[in-house]
Amino acid sequence: MRCVAVDALCLAFCGFFAWKSWTLLHEAWVDKQTTSSTWGPPLWIPYVLMAAGMTLLTLQLVIHVVASANRVREIARGG
């Protein structure tokens, strides 16, 4: 049960982080934000990588939580 609870908390955090990453990406794209350096590359480049990575991590955690919950359910049934 502890593993399922910890995985669920991680899922909630990563889901929130992924959602905020996508909103940051959208703002950077719409406002054409760039870094403050002389070169000034667009900020959507690192934001798209962050959003994609956090989304993939969130999907992996969903799979992990479902698998852990199924294991706990199986143990509770006596199997």
Distance CA 48, CA 33 (A): 13
Q: How do residues 24-50 score in pLDDT, each as one tens digit?
A: 999 999 999 999 999 999 999 999 999
Name the pLDDT band for 72 (thresholds 50, 70, 90).
confident
Nearest Cα to Cα of residue 23 among 51, 61, 55, 64: 51
Average pLDDT, the chain: 93
Q: Which residues pair with 34 in a beta bridge?
A: 42
Distance CA 74, CA 4 (A): 13
